[in-house]
Amino acid sequence: MKKHILEFLPCELKKYLPDEKKYRVSQILNWIYKNHEIDFYKMSTLPQSLREELFTKLENFLPEIIKIDISKDGTKKFLLSLYDKNKIEMVLIPNDNKNTLCISSQVGCARNCSFCATASMGLIRNLEIYEILSQVFLAIKELEENKLTNIVFMGMGEPLDNLENVIKAVRILQDEQCFNFSPRRITISTCGIIPKLKELADSGLKIKLAVSLNSTIQEKREQLMPVCRKYPLTELKNALLSFRKKTAFRITFEYVLIKDFNMGKEDVKALLKFLGDISCKLNVIKWNEVPSMPFKSPSEEEVTKFILRMQKLSSAVTYRKSRGQDINGACGQLATKVT
Ligand code: SF4
């Protein structure tokens, strides 16, 4: 298979087209990343011979958007069909002057978290670099005049299980001749794959890290997230303290509030102890009910009580209202029906 045009850093594209002058390579990049035009034949400032060369040497297809669900809060969930007919979802969340895109890194996921709809698909395959970036490209086109401001790897899949492709995709997202996103606008979320956290820290990539925590009591977290059997909380904490030393950004912890499960006094005590000496932010979010799953969503009063109990934490605690719930586009709700 030919390489896809979205998989190149500028210096790599120059090497791939050795006979082309540097300004021609810049023109190609401008067409893609400034004009959002990926059809080689429409790149009207390029000579016909170069357009033909691009057509011969490179792929430029995008996933097909087969469905867009629009929530009453403005959130849009896109169902995308890949070249092999596998499906993924991405979610575009408008919020005041911010537009956040939640992207997938895998088709399905192997990590089997018990609160997550994606887990029911199992892992089908990793996304290629261009498939990760195509989601961003499509979202930018969809937004037209509005700017895409933030990208979160919180869609389908565990990004650290596809780390090599995710790292390369982020480098292209951040390159100033490509998507030109600031590191502080990109967040990678993980369930806590310890060796990969080390690899990510050692890669030198500048990104924000979010950790899906959900309980800091070992047995309870194991029930929610089987990954915790292999990588226990004590080891996860050490890995995160080491990660923090190598990055400029505070770690964000995500905590899904599940009624009668992880919101009691002992849960708060364990959470305060776990987070106490990590420079971090804590995002709490209400469990989004998914039919067929046993968990229940707490009431607003129960959420307020939990947050009040967390006041002792010196780090910021944010209650993140779930978006796109009515279209199953909220956290933990993404799962395509595999056909
Ligand atoms: S929560 Fe994330 S890591 Fe866990 S099964 Fe779902 S997609 Fe995978």
Q: Determine the average pLDDT of the residues in 74-89.
A: 96
Backbone phi and psi for residue 255, each to the nearest 5 degrees, phi listed first: -135, 110
Q: What is the pLDDT of residues 82-116, one digit of tens each?
A: 999 999 999 999 988 899 999 999 999 999 999 88
Is 0.85 topped by the overall pTM?
Answer: yes
CA of 115 to the centre of ligand 1 (A): 8
Q: What is the pLDDT of residues 14-42, one digit of tens each?
A: 999 999 999 999 999 999 999 999 999 99
Instruction: Please answer whether residues 323 and 282 qualify as being in contact, where contact means their C-beta atoms are separated by less than 8 angstroms.
Output: no
d(C-alpha 117, C-alpha 332), whole Å: 6
Instruction: Please answer whether residues 75 and 92 qualify as being in contact, where contact means their C-beta atoms are separated by less than 8 angstroms.
Output: yes
Q: Is 55 helix (H, G, I), strand (E, B) or coil?
A: helix
pLDDT of residue 328: 65
Higher pLDDT, 322 or 18: 18
Pocket of ligand 1 (CB under 6 A): 109, 111-113, 116, 118-119, 156-158, 191, 212
Name the DSSP class of 298.
Answer: P
Please report, for residues 26, 108, 204, the alpha-carbon distance to residue 30 in angstroms, rounded to integers and kept in the order given: 6, 33, 27
CA of 112 to the centre of ligand 1 (A): 6
Length of the chain: 339
Q: What is the pLDDT of residues 263-275, one digit of tens each?
A: 999 999 999 999 9
Q: Is 288 helix (H, G, I), strand (E, B) or coil?
A: coil
User: Across the strands, what pairs with 87?
Assistant: 81
Instruction: Please answer whether residues 184 and 252 qualify as being in contact, where contact means their C-beta atoms are separated by less than 8 angstroms.
Output: no
Report the atom number in ligand 1 closest to the C-alpha of 189: 2
Q: Which domains does the chain have, with CATH numbers?
A: 3-59 (1.10.150.530), 64-327 (3.20.20.70)
End-to-end CA distance of the chain: 25
Catalytic residue positions, numbered = 89, 331
Q: Determine the average pLDDT of the residues in 40-48.
A: 97
